[in-house]
Amino acid sequence: MIFLSVTAITLGLSLIAFTLIKGRGQGLRGWVLAPALAVVVAMELCDLMAFLRPGQWVFWKQKALYAESLLPGAWLLFSLVFAREGRLRDLPLMPHFLLAASPLFLLSAFYVPIDSFIFSPDFPDERILFLGRAGYLFSIGLFLYLIYILVQLERTLVSMPRHARWRGKFEIFGAGTLLAALLLYYSQGLLHKTIDMNLLPARSMALTAAVVMMGWSRLRRGEATAIRVSREMAFRSVVVLAVGVYLVSLGLLGEGMRYLGDAQRRSIVLIAALAGGLGIVVIFLSEAARRKIRVFLHKSFYREKYDYRDEWLRFTRKLSVAESRDELHRAILAFYAETFAVQGAALFLRDPERGHYRPTASHGLGRVEGVFPVSSALVNSFGEEGWIFSSREDHPRVREESGEFLQAHRVSFVVPLRFDRTLEGFIVLGRIINEGEKYTFEDFDLMKMLALQATSTILSMNLSEQLAQSREMAAIGKVSAFVLHDLKNLVSNLALVVDTARDNISDPEYQMDMLQTLTATVRKMKALMLRLKTMEEKSALERRECPLQETIREGLQMIGGAQVKVHGKEVVAQIDPVEIQKVALNLVLNALEAGNGRPVHVETGDAGRAFFRIRDQGCGMSEEFIRTRLFRPFETTKPKGFGIGLYQCRSIVEAHGGTIEVKSRTGEGTEFTVWLPKAVSRSQEPGAGSQELEAAV
């Protein structure tokens, strides 16, 4: 025992000296650990002397009592200053009160006789001290102070960011170890009204461990960074404190019941334990009680009621998970109801077509009905600055006009949602849960801040939905444009048939050609109608080996006449014949329109790849037009054109893995060359099997 006490005292004095030297010039935070440790070292020294000199135990326990009386104030000051921002005078009301009350321990030690604290008939033999009335009350006070100090250290540790926690956690662990040992040491006085001095080695070991951890923290990791304790941690600490008081009360009740019979004592303690536990659960699950506790913490521990950064982050997280407009509205209302402790909320948004504000969502208020015109008294009460309407203030015009609505939903506040100078809507807050709570400018500022973010988020989602609708309409317009372009080509074919029929209707051969052309046109129009009816786009090309020249001739049958000359070498290509016929038909029709009746030449051939080339003798195109506008959709030089024919042709050819080349000179004509993949026979393939290439058109 002597060795443990001497070691603890030596290490404690060393750390005190180091703290005083290093903390010079650093203010209160630099040296506050030194007096706290000095008190415990003095207690250890006096108790060691009382143990070694039992004949003088009263003298040394008197000195130890003086040191113990300084224990609450010194360690409370350390727990409130360690690794925290701010000055001592900025502390809230409760810590100020406890610091101011701590000298009462010292006054009682000086003016109350020692035998009222402790007495021992045979201390030299048993080392047991019995507590008098003053000693018992003294131990209760120390016990409660130590619990509060541990709660403060726990708040500090949990609130530290990761880098600060790395620096200060061992110092807090050391202080917590020492205070926990003292708590156990004094708890025996509450349970048995005695102090067993034989437990001093355990306290000495705790002091040694605490000094080692605190010294290691200061020597190797430096002083902890200052932090600010969050309100959530403060609320959790209140729960811990309440549970601690509950357990202490059970211990005191058990001690008071020891004079009753065993059966009665157990019954009373069990009933008290159940009632107390149930009371704690009910209190901390009650929204009104929770709100009152938070308001108390704000008034007692903080200068600001809200941590705006934390509230903004929580609000942002809640809004970010909303996947639809209704979910977004409900998330906004739920956050307002939770943050400002009201039973429900409703959202009114502007209806630009009807010129009034109508309810769009409700949370906890049931069904909300009614509209507010732009000229209503409630809307006008917001003013140009966007003031928040409060039912606790006098608004005679609003009450006269909307009193029934306010009374039906027990409206407490109405928060405007403004964007620039436009009132986009407002949020109606229902009954206040804690009727006695006073709402100040801090509440109104937070309401306005959240309203700004809510307004921008609502408008952003509205714009996103409008943009999505615009894109859908654009897609429908694009499909319609392609359909109209195909119809235009088919109508052009029919017009050519009608024009030539006037001169050749009596020719049997022409009649057969005309019937084939009409049949092909009807077949294509039916296919187009079916495609338009089902609204299904062709997702992949149906490619196969086809003779290119024959495919083009079939596609140009409906044109008829001698204006189109097809010649060249036959080549087998890997193509979708229907789509390639569409490309050839579109290019030939364009060439006929540009050539004003002059013949159009279509040549097929093989130059490493299959190709067909269409030449006309029309007006031609400029290089600037070819480079900037030729293949762009909805760009055309024709008075009645749609501007999507060449865009569609290039899409089809590129889907085949081919390309389109253009040569043109103004006044001389144009030449389009379409390059397509050749068919590859099985024996020419580099690997077993052919690879089917499919691409979306």
pLDDT-wise least confident of 77-81, 267-271, 284-288, 485-489: 284-288
CATH 3.30.428.10 assigned to 538-684: no
Residues of the chain with pLDDT > 90, as a percent, come to: 6
pLDDT of residue 537: 44
Helices (H), 302-424: 308-320, 325-339, 377-381, 396-408
CA distances from 170 to 167, 178, 589 (A): 8, 12, 87
pLDDT of residue 64: 85
Domain ranges of the chain: 2-227, 230-303, 308-465, 538-684
pLDDT of residue 671: 92
**Given the structure tokens 């639809």, which residue do they identify?**
324
Q: How confident is the model at residue 268 (pLDDT cuts 50, 70, 90)?
A: low
- Measured CA to CA, the distance from residue 47 to residue 9 in angstroms comes to 12
Q: Is the pLDDT of residue 107 over 70?
A: yes
Rg of the chain over Cα atoms, rounded to whole angstroms, equals 45
Q: Is the pLDDT of residue 649 over 70?
A: yes
Q: How confident is the model at residue 281 (pLDDT cuts 50, 70, 90)?
A: low
Top-confidence range, 228-232, 562-566, 600-604, 688-692? 600-604
pLDDT of residue 547: 93
Residues of the chain with pLDDT > 70, as a percent, come to: 73
Give the CA angle between residues 93, 99, 102 to the nearest 5°: 140
pLDDT of residue 160: 66
Mean predicted confidence (pLDDT) in 422-432: 88
Mean predicted confidence (pLDDT) in 401-406: 86
Q: Is the pLDDT of residue 230 over 60?
A: no
pLDDT of residue 697: 30
CATH number of 308-465: 3.30.450.40
Q: How confident is the model at residue 686 (pLDDT cuts 50, 70, 90)?
A: very low
pLDDT of residue 184: 79
The pLDDT tens digits for 158-177 are 666 555 566 667 778 888 88
Structure tokens at 72: 């609450």
Structure tokens at 450: 């959240």
Top-confidence range, 369-378, 419-428, 599-608? 599-608
pLDDT-wise least confident of 169-173, 268-272, 378-382: 268-272
Q: How confident is the model at residue 682 (pLDDT cuts 50, 70, 90)?
A: very low
Closest to 348 in 3D by CA, of 393, 389, 311: 389
**3-state class (DSSP) for residue 556:** coil
Q: Given strand 600-606, what is the order of strands in its sheet?
A: 564-568, 600-606, 610-615, 669-676, 659-665
pLDDT of residue 541: 78
| Beta-strand relationship, 345-351 and 422-429 | antiparallel
The pLDDT tens digits for 560-593 are 655 788 889 999 999 998 889 888 888 888 888 8
The pLDDT tens digits for 54-96 are 888 888 888 888 888 898 888 888 888 776 665 666 666 777 7
Q: Is the pLDDT of residue 340 over 60?
A: yes
